[in-house]
Amino acid sequence: MEKIIVPLGTRSYPIHIGAGLLDSLGVYVREALGDITVAVVTDDNVAPLYLGRAVRSLQSAGLTVKSITLPHGETTKCLNRLSDLYNFLCHARITRRDAVIALGGGVIGDLTGLAAATFLRGVHFVQLPTTLLAQVDSSVGGKVAVDLPQGKNLVGAFYQPDLVLIDPDTLNTLTDEFWRDGLGEVVKYGCINDAALFALLEECAPGGREALMTRIETILQHCVQAKADVVAQDERDTGLRMTLNFGHTIAHAVETCQHYEGLRHGEAVSLGMHIITRLTEARGITAPGTADRLDALLTALNMPMQLPAIPEADLLAAMGMDKKSAGKTLRVIVLQEIGRCHIHPTDVSFFNGMTSA
């Protein structure tokens, strides 16, 4: 069992990582927040797998429990479902001393977090992430949001949880598709600030998902610690936190051009990391051999590196619209070597020739 603190002064919070933690949810919530009512939010894939155990654990700890199950998928991260949650929280008579618990992947975490941030101007918030992506990324750092028809994550807040419990056993039921989705972000942490994690991934990757699962607690600790370190220094995403976007400029452009119906996010990040590192190594920004090492790991993990057939002009246009760009300046994250990166202010012309990289 590992405990990592996200150090944010009075809003600091613990992230516990350990197999079987789901069954201790009630004990942890009661210890952190006392004798309260909890509103559990989940989706219709996760509910049959884990909601019963979560509710039993909470009730055994003497807590009053209400729950709601929403449809799975990105379309749930919207204003209509947020409104459904407000109705549910009213009906459950949630007060400011009570808590909402997100039990699920990043969709449930982001939506529930925004409800927690805004209902009654803020109620307690607990995350029990059940996808690899949510365990290594979305449950850490307090970004909560819903999508608008005009784009992803356009209505949101920074709202840190009180507590995060990560139970790696929940990953056993994840489809290979969503497993690979999370792996893109895992590799990213190794690239940007954790060479030891990268080496561990290189060691396990040939054995596939099974081998990675034998070291999953260590892998999760590395990722969560890496993200916690970054968030502690730049909670509001004005500087260092942008390094978490390594591979994402290209990924977001690909996802936009494919209207979010092609590669999954983690796959697009894999592709983005591959292309940017090939480009920067060729330009002498990245140490020789880095791109080969990254490509070997991505290949061993069965992650995509092949750019779909999208005209380069369309990709460049999408990059120009990236919400992380400031005016014409695009802040691209580039590797110096495995485990070290920096923010490179540039413009979209930096990516000229990317489709042949």
Q: Which residues bind ligand GLY (CB under 6 A)?
A: 137, 141, 143, 237, 241, 244
DSSP 308: P
* SS3 of residue 18 by DSSP: coil
Residue 341 interacting entry, from ligand GLY, ligand NAD, none, C-beta within 5 to 8 Å by type:
none
* SS3 of residue 17 by DSSP: strand
C-alpha distances in Å from residue 141, one per residue of 14, 57, 79, 238: 11, 26, 22, 14
Select the span of 80-88, 126-134, 280-288, 323-331 touching ligand NAD (CB under 6 A). Answer: 126-134
Rounded to whole angstroms, how far apart are CA atoms 101 and 104? 10
- Contact status: 74 vs ligand NAD (CB under 6 A): yes
x/- letters, 32..51, toward ligand NAD (CB under 6 A): -----------x-xx--x--
For the CB of residue 234, give the shortest distance to ligand GLY in the complex, in Å: 9
Residue 98 interacting entry, from ligand NAD, ligand GLY, none, C-beta within 5 to 8 Å by type:
none
Find the helix or strand (DSSP H, E) in which 346 lies. Answer: strand 340-346
Residue 340 interacting entry, from ligand GLY, ligand NAD, none, C-beta within 5 to 8 Å by type:
none
Comparison of 250 and 348: residue with beta carbon closer to ligand NAD? 250
Residue that has been written with the tokens 């990953």 in this structure: 171
Select the span of 80-88, 132-140, 311-319, 335-343 touching ligand NAD (CB under 6 A). Answer: 132-140
Residue 153, sorted as left (phi over 0), alpha (psi -120 to 50) or beta, turns out to be left
Q: Which residue is nearest to ligand GLY (CB)?
A: 244
- Contact status: 267 vs ligand NAD (CB under 6 A): no
- Contact status: 23 vs ligand NAD (CB under 6 A): no
Kindly tell me the sign of the dihedral angle through the C-alpha atoms of 227, 288, 302, 74: positive
Select the span of 131-139, 293-301, 311-319, 326-334 touching ligand NAD (CB under 6 A). Answer: 131-139
Cβ atoms within 10 A of the Cβ of 58, count?
A: 24
Long-range contacts of 88-92 (CB under 8 A, 24+ apart): 88/39, 88/41, 89/39, 89/115, 89/119, 89/123, 91/66, 92/37, 92/39, 92/66
- Contact status: 194 vs ligand NAD (CB under 6 A): no
Residues within the interface to ligand NAD (CB under 6 A):
43, 45-46, 49, 72-74, 77, 104-108, 110, 130-131, 133-134, 137-138, 141, 143, 152-153, 170, 173-174, 178, 181
